[in-house]
Chains A and B, each alone.
Chain A
């Protein structure tokens, strides 16, 4: 469902990763591993179409990609339900009733998002993924500030709802989510220091 062929992506004018290729079939997840600064976020943003790749090709069904990072677009002056309803309306989907239970938000439905703890906010941010109905998820450190229980809630949703329904996920994480997924080490794809192709190349 998701095909990545020979992608090179740049940060700050210089290529960071080059020649990244992989394929993720429907119903499967891929976990990106690598030390800080290797370019996990850059790769995910490139895959999600937020920044252009220097070269290579990314293909997945049109309008099915969704990107999520630690900045999850929660409005503190809206309630939990209002936050989720907004994203459902933007994506033209209906808010599934089960979503509150899945992410343990049932008791918080009418609370202002601004009064939530960091972990609760994170759960709300992840619940958005269950609302928008997108098949191909690009997740950048989705479990930051979640406790063990919440990580299991999220992994459970990912495995039994999203992937089970034929979705795809590419996840950059240092935590063991406990889901069955291929792991891709990014270290071998690190671009050589003198790799060409970045916007700065013309000047070197």
Chain B
């Protein structure tokens, strides 16, 4: 299974797009927000946690359709299905590769971008921690959505429609943790619930993803 992870990471680095695009998109969304909301620092500071989380979520969404589509087109997915790897493991590794190429860079990039939005000084730590805990869930849920739409020619839009509602709990707990941190309240409960979602999705959702892949490969 590690071979699959390493292959996907290698492909992401070589084919480009994986690391760069999502991150660039994240940057642009965060930069655009002050143009829309206005330069008022107090206002920006209030909305900063939400903006960072929503932007991270959209950036993660951007690269989801590539998770299975390429492997489906060139037949790798069929071959993987007949290989000794369990499809649950394939789903898991795909999610992990997506997180390493998307979620992790976003997590690292978010605190510096907080400066652009005059994020409260107390909140920087929580932006980082909440994204670190929460973005894996975004990848796993997204992998499920990608599996659902893998056989469809124009699945991209449908994928967003399917995945975004599933992102709601993660978004609420993630942004709430940062907001509480910024207000000097205790963000521990929100972080704990966020961690619960991540752990739960990591354990259970790959089973559903594998079932979906089997159906789509029929």
Contacts and interface: CB of A to CB of B under 8 A. Distances in A.
B75 A78 contact: no
Interface residues of B, number: 22
A118 B11 CA distance: 21
A72 B7 CA distance: 16
A67 B84 contact: no
A66 interface: yes
Nearest to B10: A78
B79 A73 contact: yes
Contacts, number: 65
B186 interface: no
B14 interface: yes
Given A75-B74, A78-B10, A90 B83 contact: yes
Contacts of B82: 48-50, 65-67
Contacts of A82: 7, 10
Contacts of B79: 67-68, 72-73, 87, 128
A89 B2 CA distance: 9
A86 B3 contact: yes
A90 B75 contact: no
A146 to B, nearest CB: 17
B80 interface: yes
A50 B78 contact: yes
Contacts of B80: 73, 90
Interface residues of A, number: 28
Contacts of B85: 90
B21 interface: no
Contacts of A66: 82
A204 interface: no
B74, B78, B79, B218 interface centre (most CB from chain A within 10 Å): B79
Contacts of A63: 84
Interface in B27-55: none
B15 interface: yes
Interface string A63-85: 10111111111110110001000
B83 A71 contact: no
B74 A50 contact: no
A89 B93 CA distance: 15
A132 B82 CA distance: 11
A91 B83 contact: yes
Contacts of B14: 77-78
Given A50-B218, A78-B11, A86-B3, A73 B81 contact: no
Contacts of A69: 75, 78
Contact of A71 (B3, B10, B11, B75): B75
A71 B84 contact: no
A89 B75 contact: no
26 contacts: A48-B82, A50-B82, A50-B218, A63-B84, A65-B82, A66-B82, A69-B75, A70-B75, A71-B75, A73-B71, A73-B74, A73-B75, A73-B78, A75-B11, A75-B76, A77-B14, A78-B7, A78-B11, A82-B10, A86-B3, A90-B3, A90-B85, A91-B84, A92-B84, A128-B79, A132-B83
Interface of A: 48-52, 63, 65-75, 77-78, 82, 86-87, 89-92, 128, 132
5 tightest A-B CB contacts, nearest first:
A71-B75, A89-B3, A73-B76, A77-B14, A51-B218
Given A52-B218, A82-B7, 11 more contacts: A50-B78, A67-B78, A73-B75, A75-B7, A77-B11, A78-B7, A82-B10, A86-B3, A87-B83, A89-B3, A90-B4
